[in-house]
A and B are shown apart, each in its own frame.
Chain A
Amino acid sequence: MKNLTAIVVDDDVSLGDIFAYALETIGFEVEVIKDSRLAWEKILSRKPDLVTLDLEMPHVTGADLLRQIRADDSLKQVKVMMMTGNGRVAEEMGVEALADIILIKPVTYTQIKDFASRLMQSPKTSVQSS
């Protein structure tokens, strides 16, 4: 895979960094954003191939960002990988149908590689992990 771009949004910057590293090992060029309030502008301007969102973040949640992304026509091609510590919360926040995949923490290196690759291969993927 070449020239793929990703934005990782996670308030735990160290975790965000290692997600980024994992994506870089399979060819993504990755930017990590710690403050979710700054994420929307970045996503909109860069139109990355992949966005990973932490579901529960202060200020702007992963669910908020996901809804914004899905409501914007210019971001139709963006795949979204949602990370959460608790699958039930994802259910409650109503993001199941909107995200391309929901990964329950702890997310493994293998999962990140496999699911990111699969999302880039298929135009419309709907998978779920628990």
Chain B
Amino acid sequence: MLTIKPTGRLEDLDRDQLLQTVRRLLAEADALSSRIAAVSEIGIAINRTLDLTAIQRVIAQQAKWLLDFDHCSVCLQKDDVWQINTLFGAQEATPPQLLETENLGPALTRGQPQIVREGSPSPFMAQYASQIILPLVADNIILGTINFGLAKALGYTQDDMRIVYMLALQLSSALRNTRNFEELERTRDALQNRAAELEARNQELDAYSHTIAHDLKSPLNNIMLRSEILASRFSDKLPPQALDFVKGIRDSGVKMNEMIDQLLWLAKLRNVKDTVKPTEIRPTVDNAVMRFMAVLEEKGIKVEISPDMPCVLAHSQWVEEVFANLISNAIKYMGDTCAAPSITIRAVAKGDYVRCEVQDTGIGIAPEDQARLFEMFTRLHTLNVEGLGLGLSIIHRIVTKLNGQVGVESSLGVGSTFWFTLPAAPIPIIEKIGQDEHVG
């Protein structure tokens, strides 16, 4: 604050006196401007970093441009305990019962600025007769104090208090940023740890289900092989009812094998991180249909495949598996009331995605069951819908992994249309996607 103390009216001053007054005023203006500039620079510097140590270092180095002091310290919480960090001057110990001291206490507990003019009222900063202790407050929380001390009495002016107040504001905002950032980091770390834990647990579960599924194959193979040999080599020695039982054993084995394969697929899908590539849909549909040729013929189900199927961004084996699961479901739920049972398979480009459909003339699905269809292991809840759970879980997992969506439209007694979308491939490909050679 500029203080003009003219000895009389300006008009009465002689030239020298006038010059002296102007010089003094200029010097004071210059000093104040330097101090404001210093506060602003400190503000910029401490708000640029989120490192508390760096912030304190800046204050220790720059505060000397602001005001005169023999001691500068901050009182901050570390691990829920108030601690004094001396930034300049003789090391000041953290006083016992710090909240009850007469200078620091009211600042920390009630946020009251403490200005001491003639002699310290407390063992804290006992050697400094002049003190400015200002609370650092952000979001109505007292984060600490900043403390300046001068050995001589009556050392601080109103201007000094204002400057320290400005500094306290800057420091409070920097501290708030630091706290918020630390809080964010803690939350982020906690989330990352949780995500990693969950991922690890999922992988464990998948590895576990993979092992179980895999280990089940040997005893299952034993059961199926023995029943097959019974039926083929001992058919003349077994009564018809016994042969029926043997056939039942084999049929159950086939079903169980399908489920094991589906479990293996589910376990495998989580781990695959391959990149997708342009994939022709038609060969995947043909391969999927081929898997069911015998049963389709046996049941007299006609399969219609729409021509000119577009390309998608996917893995051919995955798309084939989706179609195979949908065709398998369509066959399972065809029922026997339809005179001309049929399955229609389409794939139509719609903007930047392709919609694939498998439509059947089967028994259809009640509206209340449709919503629950794609839940993992839905079968547990709807035991009357036999065999749906795993297959649809696989479809859902594959399509979701390929950034597509899946759904069903169905009317009881009319049939169902299961659909899924996949991202369209930008450029059509000509050569056939390599398929494994299947023999046997």
Which A residues fall within an 8 A CB radius of B? 10, 12, 14-15, 18-19, 21-22, 25, 54, 56, 85-86, 88-89, 103, 105-111, 114-115, 127-130
Can you pick out 10 interface pairs between chain A and chain B where the beta carbons lie within 8 Å of each other?
A25-B229, A54-B218, A85-B213, A85-B214, A88-B268, A105-B221, A106-B224, A108-B224, A109-B225, A114-B440
Q: Are B232 and A109 within 8 A (Cβ)?
A: yes
Q: Are A107 and B221 within 8 A (Cβ)?
A: yes
The dominant DSSP class at the A interface is mixed
Q: Which residues of A contact B229 (CB under 8 A)?
A: 18, 21-22, 25, 109
How far is A88 from B233 in the complex, measured between Cα atoms in Å?
33
Q: Are A130 and B436 within 8 A (Cβ)?
A: yes
Q: How far is the CB of A81 from chain B (nearest CB, A)?
A: 12
Q: Are B214 and A15 within 8 A (Cβ)?
A: no
Q: How far is the CB of A93 from chain B (nearest CB, A)?
A: 13
How far is A37 from B361 in the complex, measured between Cα atoms in Å?
56
* Interchain Cβ contacts within 8 Å, total number: 69
Q: Are A25 and B439 within 8 A (Cβ)?
A: no
Q: Are A106 and B436 within 8 A (Cβ)?
A: no
Question: Does B217 touch A at the CB level, under 8 Å?
Answer: yes
Q: Report how many residues on chain B are interfacial, defined by Cβ distance under 8 Å.
A: 25
Q: Which residues of B contact A25 (CB under 8 A)?
A: 229, 233
Question: Does B262 touch A at the CB level, under 8 Å?
Answer: no
Q: Are A14 and B222 within 8 A (Cβ)?
A: yes
Q: Are B220 and A115 within 8 A (Cβ)?
A: no
Q: Which residues of B contact A10 (CB under 8 A)?
A: 218
Q: Which residues of B contact A15 (CB under 8 A)?
A: 218-219, 221-222, 225
Name the interface residues of B241-265: CB closer than 8 Å to any CB of A.
Answer: 253, 257, 264
Q: Are B440 and A106 within 8 A (Cβ)?
A: no
Q: Which residues of B contact A130 (CB under 8 A)?
A: 436, 438, 440
Q: Which residues of A contact B225 (CB under 8 A)?
A: 15, 18-19, 22, 106-109
Q: Which residues of B contact A12 (CB under 8 A)?
A: 218-219, 222
Q: How far is the CB of A82 from chain B (nearest CB, A)?
A: 13
With contacts A15-B225, A18-B225, A18-B229 taken as known, whether A105 is within 8 angstroms of B439 at the C-beta atoms is no
Q: Are B228 and A108 within 8 A (Cβ)?
A: yes
Question: Does B14 touch A at the CB level, under 8 Å?
Answer: no
Question: Does B226 touch A at the CB level, under 8 Å?
Answer: yes
The winner among B217, B224, B436 for most chain A CB atoms within 10 A is B217
With contacts A56-B214, A127-B440 taken as known, whether A105 is within 8 angstroms of B220 at the C-beta atoms is yes
Question: Which residue of B has the minimal Cβ distance to A111?
Answer: B440
The winner among B214, B218, B232 for most chain A CB atoms within 10 A is B218
Q: Which residues of B contact A21 (CB under 8 A)?
A: 229
Q: How far is the CB of A122 from chain B (nearest CB, A)?
A: 13
Q: Are B217 and A18 within 8 A (Cβ)?
A: no
A109-B228, A130-B436 are known; give 15 further A-B pairs, CB within 8 A: A10-B218, A12-B222, A22-B229, A25-B229, A56-B214, A85-B213, A85-B218, A86-B214, A86-B264, A89-B214, A106-B220, A106-B221, A106-B224, A115-B440, A129-B438
